[in-house]
């Protein structure tokens, strides 16, 4: 049986990487999907791929760092389908900064994308669900770095740690509305965005992912499709009553030492 039959799923940052993988998985599980992103090219290409395979998909151009655009993306999904049942916050910013060299502008950019955008997207979707008296679910794509992370991820860690706390707070606040909110602390993942980050900030070559994978316990980076399967499960009724969970989805055991 499909996990999301007839459901409407809004995926922020859904044009590439984990977000695009979630969109593909949700369509396979019977959902209609609305994906958002800043670049029309990848968004329209993904929608063409999904619709060619018989799926119901649409792209909404939105920079979720702008609260007005984030809110408008929810309104666009509701206008298209009459409702939204599920939200996935997959948009993310991973530009580098340490405690000593992060500027106020870089810090604000991380908060805008990695924390403020999920906050106001959840606000709009939860408000919509409450107004309908309908159950629903949210999955926030967070990061295992929210536990501490590398020194060069200071503003990223600050924002993602905030998102982990927000996930628990929203879940607690709306559990009696039957709106479940969960998060995934994902580890190092092989995505287009990570490829660009490695090349821009670390001078990586074409073989960086294979080289990095050799040093990891499972011999490879995580795959977005694997993460998407977990996201879809958490969105679906199959995950039962679970809410307020932030799952460490990683191959390293955080807190354990050799």
Among 156, 183, 194, 228, which one carries the catalytic annotation? 156
Residues contacting 251, CB < 8 A, separation 6+: 187, 216, 217, 218, 222
Degrees, nearest 5: CA angle 31-32-34:
125
Say whether 152 is catalytic.
no
Contact status, residue 37 vs residue 152, Cβ threshold 8 Å: no
Residues contacting 45, CB < 8 A, separation 6+: none
Helix or strand run (H / E) with residue 75: helix 67-81
CA distances from 12 to 30, 190, 203, 256 (A): 19, 19, 29, 33
For residue 178, give the nearest of 220, 240, 258 by alpha carbon: 240
Nearest-angstrom CA–CA distance, 116 and 156: 13
Range list of H helices, 16-66:
17-28, 40-52
- Residues labelled as active-site residues: 156
């Amino acid at each position: 049986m499909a996990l999301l039959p007839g459901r409407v799923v809004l995926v922020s940052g859904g044009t590439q990487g984990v977000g695009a993988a979630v969109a593909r998985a949700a369509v396979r599980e019977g959902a209609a999907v609305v994906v958002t992103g800043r670049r029309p090219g990848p968004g329209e290409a993904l929608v063409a791929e999904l619709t060619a395979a018989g799926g119901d998909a649409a792209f909404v151009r939105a920079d979720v760092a702008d609260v007005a655009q984030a809110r408008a993306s929810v309104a666009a999904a509701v206008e298209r389908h009459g409702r939204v049942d599920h939200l996935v916050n997959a948009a993310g910013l991973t530009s580098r900064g340490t405690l000593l060299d992060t500027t106020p502008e870089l810090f604000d950019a991380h908060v805008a994308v990695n924390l403020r955008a999920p906050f106001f997207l959840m606000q709009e979707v939860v408000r919509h669900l409450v107004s309908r008296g309908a159950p629903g679910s949210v999955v926030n794509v967070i990061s295992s770095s929210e536990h501490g992370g590398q020194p060069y991820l200071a503003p990223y860690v600050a924002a993602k740690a905030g998102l982990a706390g927000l996930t628990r707070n929203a879940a607690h606040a709306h559990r009696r509305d039957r709106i479940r909110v969960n998060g995934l602390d994902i580890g190092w993942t092989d995505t287009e965005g990570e490829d660009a980050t490695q090349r821009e900030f670390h001078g990586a070559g074409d073989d960086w992912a294979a080289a990095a994978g050799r040093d990891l316990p499972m011999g490879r980076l995580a795959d977005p499709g694997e993460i998407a399967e977990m996201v879809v499960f958490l969105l679906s009724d199959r995950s039962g009553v679970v809410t307020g969970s932030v799952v460490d989805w990683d191959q390293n055991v955080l807190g354990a030492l050799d």
